[in-house]
Structure 1
Amino acid sequence: MEILLKEESNKGFSIARENNKRAGMMSYSIAGDTLIIIDHTEVEQEFNGKGVGKQMLYKIVEMARDKNVKIIPLCPFAASMFKKLDDIKDVLK
């Protein structure tokens, strides 16, 4: 599984691909130099239950740590992951 980050003006995307096929996408809004808001997660049906959403979230968390950015998880999936996973709460706003 390959996870890529892409940013365009005030939006960012964590994109999961496997064998050149899109497995999922998590989007975030860039709300300033030190804040992003995760607003949407989607995983292609054939990749459900394979941890794709979690991998995309971890890629965004890694970027947030590198840039000293905090995250507000508005997306229900991301919000539930932040409640469950203690190892990513350091970037939570």
Structure 2
Amino acid sequence: MEFKEEKHRFVLLDGTKEIGEMTWLDRDSYFIVNHTLVDSDYRGQGLAGKLVEKGVEKARREGRKLYPLCPFALKEFDSKPEYSDVRQFEL
């Protein structure tokens, strides 16, 4: 499986098949994570969490923050204190 960054999203590929994505809106100092989805045939493998992790890595690399609007991303941020350094709390 491969993660690919495209404009305003990370895509998860299994070969050439797109099986997941995390999308965001770009703001000056932060990203708003507005959607995370993994194909139902691939759920239960932690792949959506890996997509959010890619967003966290991007924010750290760029010195920015993430606002987890997407319910899944919010759950990830609430359960992973190691993401607190990149969490944006207000829009």
**Structure 1 length normalisation: TM-score?**
0.89
Q: Which residue is equivalent to 2:53?
A: 58
**CA RMSD in angstroms, aligned pairs only:** 0.9
| Matched pairs, number | 88
1:3–1:55 Cα contact (<8 Å) kept: no
Give, in whole Å, the separation in 1 of the partners of 2:47 and 2:34. Answer: 16
SS of 2:75's equivalent? helix
Residue 51 of structure 1 deviates from its aligned partner by 1.0
Please give the secondary structure, in 1, of the residue aligned with 2:41.
Answer: helix
The aligned amino acid for 1:5 is: E
Question: Is the CA contact 1:38–1:75 (under 8 Å) kept in the aligned structure 2?
Answer: yes
The 2-side partners of 1:77 and 1:62 are apart by 17
The list of structure 1 runs, each at least 4 consecutive aligned residues, that deviate by more than 6 angstroms after superposition, is none
What stretches of structure 1 of length at least 5 have no aligned partner?
none
1:81 equivalent to 2:81? Answer: no
Q: 2:26 aligns to what?
A: 30
Once residues 4 and 91 of structure 1 are traced to their aligned partners in structure 2, the CA distance between those partners, rounded to angstroms, is 21
Work out whether residues 36 and 69 of structure 1, in 8 Å CA contact, stay in contact via their aligned partners in 2. yes
Deviation at 1:21, TM superposition (A): 1.4
Structure 2 unaligned spans of 5+:
none
Kept after mapping to 2: 8 A contact 1:35/1:69: yes
| Equivalences for residues 5-44 of structure 1 within 5 A | 5-7=5-7, 12-32=8-28, 34-44=29-39
| Structure-2 separation of matches of 1:89 and 1:78 | 13
Give TM-score scaled by structure 2 length.
0.91
Of 39-48 and 14-23, more deviation after overlay is shown by 14-23
- Counterpart for residue 3 of structure 2: 3
Point out the structure with the larger strand share.
Answer: 1
